[in-house]
Amino acid sequence: FIFSKVSYSEEVLTIPMDLSKWTYEGNKFKCNLLQSNNDYGKFYFLAEPNNKFYFISDIEYENNKWKTIALTTQNAPWSNELYRKEFGSLEFTKPSQRFIFNKGAEEFMDSIALGSWVTLSLKGSNASSVSEIVIPTLQIQNALKSFNACRARLPKLSFSEARDMALSFEFGQKTLSRG
């Protein structure tokens, strides 16, 4: 696939399949599943302690900004039919390039794990400036496996919740035990 940056409305930007590479990065307190090897921005899942889970898109395309974004999945192009499912949408009064989805992000991840592709439908400040970014999910399985293993190891409480938790002791008790 060859792509070029064209600046007319109603364009669909598809990240070429051979450039679609998903990577995992994580530590004890944060897990990321990233797709950033493209000219259109950085797209990633972020998991944090206390079961916080997001899909974030930082779109970098000719300094454009959008007021509305819809997060959907679609079947891969070799599928028999085109099926799309929307998992969330955001609307801003001030146009933006960064969009953070938390509602629907888990279900969105489940759909991608089954082979669906990411589709971001964007609307600018005027009705004719509609754009779409399609992100293949090829080569995601190994990174997804590492990401999910990282998520399973994340603390179930945030640091501030654990710090502020009250622990009661019986008079004379010197050790903790599972209750």
Backbone angles phi, psi at 6, to 5 degrees: -110, 145
pTM of the model: 0.82
pLDDT at 163: 74
Q: Both tokens of residue 89? A: 């949408």
Burial zone of 117 (CB within 10 Å; 0-12 exposed, 13-18 middle, 19+ buried): buried
Percentage of residues in the chain with pLDDT exceeding 90? 53
pLDDT tens track for 110-140: 999 999 999 999 987 655 455 899 999 998 9
Q: Both tokens of residue 157? A: 């409480």
- For residue 20, is pLDDT > 60? yes
Q: How far is Cα 73 from Cα 84, in angstroms, rounded to an integer?
A: 5
Stretch 92-121: mean pLDDT, rounded? 94
Q: Which of 110, 100, 12 is nearest to 61 (CA)?
A: 12
Q: How confident is the model at residue 93 (pLDDT cuts 50, 70, 90)?
A: confident
pLDDT at 66: 87
Q: Which of 56, 48, 54 is nearest to 153 (CA)?
A: 48
Q: Which of 172, 143, 178, 176 is nearest to 37 (CA)?
A: 143
Place of tokens 């080569």: 139
Q: How confident is the model at residue 179 (pLDDT cuts 50, 70, 90)?
A: low
Q: How confident is the model at residue 162 (pLDDT cuts 50, 70, 90)?
A: confident
pLDDT at 2: 41
When the pLDDT of each residue in the chain is averaged and rounded to a whole number, the result is 85
Residue 86 contacts residue 111 (beta carbons within 8 Å):
no
The DSSP secondary structure of 58-92, one letter per residue, reads EE-STT--EEEEEEEEE--TTSSS--EEEEEEEEE
Could you tell me the residue ranges of all domains in the chain? 12-162
pLDDT at 75: 94
Fold of 12-162: Immunoglobulin-like (2.60.40)
Q: Both tokens of residue 49? A: 């302690």
